[in-house]
Amino acid sequence: MGLFDSLCRRYQSLFRAAHPEEADLVELHSTGQTEQFLAAYFAHEYRKGGDVVERFTALAPGWHGGRALDFGCGAGGLTYRIAAHAREAVGIDIEQYKLDFAAAQAERLNVPNARFVCSASAALPFADDSFDCVFCIDVVEHLPTPEKFVAEFRRVLRPGGQLLLSFGPPWGHAHGKHMWAKLPGWWTHLLFPRRAVMRAAGFPPHTTWEELGIHRLTVGRFERVMRRSGFRVEYRRLLINKAVAPLRFVPLLRELFIAEVVGVYRKPTEGTA
C-alpha cells in the first residue's frame, strides 16, 4: 500500500458517516439483496419525495394539475408523490429493474396516473411541448452532458412550462464525491489522488469518476449551462452553511461550500425572451 493510500484511509477514519440510511442502501445493493434494496430505496425516495413536492409547491404552485415528467426517477418514489398533484406523472430512468419495481407499486398505492419509461438516450422519447413541468431532482450532476438534457427539457415543455430542479452537493463541496458511506472525509476527492481515493472506497484504482456517474459538475458550470439554455430564471437559491454564507459571492471559494442548488426555470412563451 502506497503512502497516499495509507494517508487517505487514515483520513477517512477521522470522520463518521453522516448518512446511516445511505450506508444501509449501499450494503444492500453491494451484497446483491436486490428486492430488499429496492424496497428500502423506494421508501427513502417516497419520504424524500414528499419534501420535494412541498418545497416546489411553495416555490412554483402553478405546476399542479398538469402533465409532469420526473427525470431520473429511480424506483419511482418521487413520481408517485408528484402524481398526487398532477393530471399524469411520467417517470423516466435508465435502469429497467428499478422501473419494474416502480410500476408494481401503482396498485398498492392506488395511483392510476403514474407510468414509467426506460431510456438511456439524451434525446427524450417524448413529443415537443408535451409536458407542463419537468422535475429534475439530484440527477443533473450525474449527467455527462447536462446541456443536452437541459435542451431536451426545454423541448418537451410546453411554452410557459416549468423546470423544477435541484442538485447537490456540487463537485467542489466537501461531499461532492457523493459517497458519504464509503468516503466520509471532507474533500477527500480534492485532497488525494484519484487512484488512492478509489482504493479507499473499495474500487479498482483505475476507476474513473465518470464510471461511477460523477461528472464533476460545479456551480459555475451549471450556471453557464442555464444561462445558455433559453430558460428564464424564476427562482434560484444556493444553499450554504450560515457560518460561511458570505462566501457564496466569492467565485472560487463558493464552490467548496455550496451544498445544494435549487432553481425554478420557465420556458418562455412565444414572443418573449
Per the CB < 8 A criterion, the answer to whether 192 and 8 are in contact is yes
Interhelix angle 219-227/146-156, nearest 10 degrees: 40
Q: How far apart are CA 91 and CA 131, in angstroms?
A: 12
Per the CB < 8 A criterion, the answer to whether 258 and 248 are in contact is yes
User: 118: number of CA atoms within 13 Å, CB side?
Assistant: 11
Instruction: Give me 25's grid cell.
Output: 442502501
pTM for this entry: 0.94
| Residue 10 backbone phi and psi in degrees, to 5 | -65, -40
Q: What is the pLDDT along the chain (273 residues), one digit of tens a residue?
A: 689 999 999 999 999 876 777 778 878 888 889 899 999 999 999 999 999 999 999 999 889 999 999 999 999 999 999 999 999 999 999 999 999 999 999 999 999 999 999 999 889 999 999 999 999 999 999 999 999 999 999 999 999 999 999 999 999 999 999 998 899 999 999 999 999 999 999 999 999 999 999 999 999 999 999 999 999 999 999 999 999 999 888 988 999 999 999 999 999 997 555
Q: How far apart are CA 185 and CA 202, in angstroms?
A: 15
Q: How far apart are CA 96 and CA 74, in angstroms?
A: 9
Q: How far apart are CA 189 and CA 196, in angstroms?
A: 9
Q: For the chain, which domains are there?
A: 3-266 (3.40.50.150)
